[in-house]
Amino acid sequence: MSEGFKLEIVNPESSFLLKEGVSEVVVPAFEGDMGILKDHISIISFLKPGLVKVFEGTNEEIFYVDDGIVEFKNNCLSILTSNIFNIKKMDKNIVRDALAKAEQETKKNDISDQNKYLIDQKIEVLKNLTLN
3-state class (DSSP) for residue 42: coil
Domain ranges for the chain, please list them.
Answer: 5-86, 91-131
pLDDT at 1 (0 to 100): 41
68-115 pLDDT, tens digit per residue, is 999 999 999 999 999 888 988 888 888 888 889 999 988 888 888 888
Q: How far is CA 60 from CA 28, 53, 89, 106, 128, in A?
A: 16, 7, 14, 33, 18
- For residue 2, name the pLDDT band (cuts at 50, 70, 90): low
pLDDT at 108 (0 to 100): 85
In the CATH scheme, what is the code of domain 5-86?
Answer: 2.60.15.10
Give the Cα separation of 130 and 15 in Å (integer): 27
Among 38-52, 77-91, 118-132, whose mean pLDDT is lowest?
A: 118-132
